[in-house]
Structure 1
Amino acid sequence: MGLDEQISTAKGLIDSDPKQAEQELRKLVFDVPGTDVETTRVKEQAIGALAEAYVKLQDAQSLADLLSQLREFFGAIPKAKTAKIVRGIIDQIAKIPNSTQLQVVVCKEQVEWARTEKRTFLRQRIELRLAALYLELQDYPTALGILGTLNSEVKKLDDKLLLVDIHLLESKVHHAVRNLPKSRAALTAARTAANAIYVPVALQAEIDTQSGVLHAEERDYKTGYSYFFEAFEQFSALGDDKAMSALKYMLLCKIMLNESGDVPALISAKAGLKYTGRPVDAMRAVAQAYQERSLQAFQPC
């Protein structure tokens, strides 16, 4: 049986028998000799499938260990491929519930390894991920410390796409600590950097969402709604779960604009129907309670 057939067979086992799939895929990753183009391609596919198997098994620790076990392989392949694999595995760890602390440990380990190996591109992106994790853990001073160092370093390299990500995350951290002037300044810096380059749709949607949040904080709900609408359309086109959050923000802006009568129409529109469920039903109930001026109806929402 050829290598491609072995991968195909192992992938087919991920849903039905992830443990068996893991064993087969590990053989392909670690037992197949050689680092020629074809073998490397097969191993890359096997690593991606192996990560999926570990997610299916909810085994975050094995995913973390996999990064250390692959270091010899990383030394034999191009740096760009290494960066893609490392970031992909960290993304897979994030899919496992209650793995935030482990992600922090893994990111710190990978930052140190990348620094030792002089892999600047990879180190900077993992540090950005680490700052986002500290935001999630509400350790804001540590997040801002990482972003400050990263910002000054990346400005010298003029990596505008990474600068957009850094400024956007910085805006979110400042917003979390209620420093709205600095949050707006960081968002403006993100937009300025974004204007000079092509920005991926998902990142543009993130920028629009943050813009909507800050306008809503200033009680400019009309402008906030327009930004959330743009973000919703972009996330929805990508099939991203963040579309639900953008839709909820849109509905909330309508309520705050004293236009709660528009909420049912937005929910029942073609775009809104994809996201029917408890969160949207809750917003519908809030809008109804607001229309009726009923605190009693609002309490269960």
Structure 2
Amino acid sequence: MNSPLLPILSSTCSQEEKEIAFLEMQKPVIRSRNYDALCENIINIKNFWSEITTSRIIKIIRKLFSLIQCDNDLKLIIPFLNDLIDWATKTNRNLLRLDLECKRIYVYIYINKFHEALTSIKHTIKDLKKFDDKTNLIMLYVYESKAYYKIKNFSKAKSSLTSARSLAVSCYCSYELQAQIDLFNGMYLCDSRNYQTACSYFIEAVEGFRIDKNDELCRVAFRYLLLSNILKDNGNLKNKSVNFEHSLSNNKKNKFSYDDDNIIQILNNVKVAIKERSLKKYLDILENNKIILDSDEFLNSHLKYLYDILLEANIIKIIEAYSIIYLKYIADDLGFDVDVVEVKIRKMILDGSINGIIDHNDMSLILSNKKEEKQVCNEILEKISKIISN
């Protein structure tokens, strides 16, 4: 570890000054992604800074971790964290070890290794409870909830989030951590089609991330707030959310602006398409922005769900006055190809939304009256019953 700042670590400078000096020395190492050297510098820090405490090391590692860029190469720091965990274990620095294990779990989730994350969480939670480390425990419950959600185990995802919420009430919880809890609450409520309540949680999440100056997650929460406003069949909160967007965009302290956010632009275009009652325009938005929307599974699935229910509602509105109707007529009215309408009507017939059959001779939809069918069936059953009794 060669640096002009190195003598500061063994000088009579304050602990804070030494911490700043050490962090400055590691910035070039992090930029070059030389994690082996970074690990060696942390392990050998006591050789230069003899009076450093474990709590100070934990604080320094947290700050160093925040300097590491979250991208596709984040998986490269797994060996780095493994080496630090081994060192902390050998030197009986249990609190440091647990903090490092929490960071490794975060990386597992970020690089989509959800099963590895859940396995680590199971063991780490037990140790965190022993040391009564509530902050990391809340964080792990949030990670656990996210991991279960990603592997489609929704009941366990909700259960983990409930544990995080319960614990957050009984102790101090940072704005960012509370905002993450609110964000997931909003997502799970959206999945349950409770959009009104979801909006409230998303607003809290936006505010929490804004206070914490976490622009990236604040953007995500705001996207979901706009999404839930679009999804709910109620405009009462619409003006409130627009005003909230305005206040965020003009906040001088944080200077958050979402005008350049591609996903927010897409959501605004979706709102326009719905207002114009143009399902074709809606579908074009989804197809033209497929790569962007595929990056957010939650948002994409809800936009597709909304498209499906709007398409069904429009088809039912068109066919309700007819007993026989050509598919081409429905397609022309909606602005779609006949093939698209045929596929959708087939699904609607199968799930019982439409009571009828498709005549392939002239590509028409023949609708039948459920009440009349039921009456005929009852009459047949009644006659059969009389025959049997006689």
Which TM-score applies when normalising by structure 2? 0.64
Aligned equivalent of 1:87, options 48, 59, 62: 62
Give the structure with the larger helix fraction. Answer: 1
How far apart in 1 are the matches of 2:195 and 2:12? 54
**2:242 matched to which residue of 1?**
265
SS, match of residue 143 in structure 2: helix
Matched, 1:35 2:10: yes
**1:47 matched to which residue of 2?**
22
- Shifted more, 253-262 versus 228-237: the winner is 253-262
| 1:118 CA drift (Å) | 1.0
Aligned equivalent of 1:134, options 105, 108, 118: 108
**1:3 matched to which residue of 2?**
none
CA contact (8 A) 2:9 2:21 kept: no
List per-residue Cα deviations over 1:73-106 (Å, max 9, x = no partner): 236211111111122222222x264331112121
Q: 1:223 to 1:160 in 2, by over 3 A?
A: same
**1:285 matched to which residue of 2?**
269
How large is the Cα RMSD of the aligned pairs? 2.5
| 1:35 CA drift (Å) | 3.2
Matched, 1:276 2:259: yes
Q: 1:259 to 1:152 in 2, by over 3 A?
A: same
How far apart in 1 are the matches of 2:271 and 2:259? 15
Which TM-score applies when normalising by structure 1? 0.82
How far apart in 1 are the matches of 2:89 and 2:147? 25
CA contact (8 A) 1:260 1:290 kept: no
* Number of equivalent positions: 272
Higher relative contact order, chain-length normalized (CA < 8 Å, sep 6+): 1
CA contact (8 A) 1:147 1:166 kept: yes
- What is the identity percentage for the equivalent residue pairs of Structure 1 and Structure 2? 25
How far apart in 1 are the matches of 2:59 and 2:198? 35
Q: Which residue type is aligned with residue 196 of structure 2? A: K
CA contact (8 A) 1:235 1:243 kept: yes
Aligned equivalent of 2:121, options 132, 143, 147: 147
How far apart in 2 are the matches of 1:204 and 1:185? 16
How far apart in 2 are the matches of 1:286 and 1:267? 20
How far apart in 1 are the matches of 2:245 and 2:207? 15
| 1:182 CA drift (Å) | 0.6
Computing the radius of gyration over CA atoms, which structure comes out larger, 1 or 2?
Answer: 2
**2:294 matched to which residue of 1?**
none
Gaps of 5+ in 2: 251-256, 290-390
CA contact (8 A) 2:5 2:21 kept: yes
| 1:272 CA drift (Å) | 4.5
SS, match of residue 106 in structure 1: helix
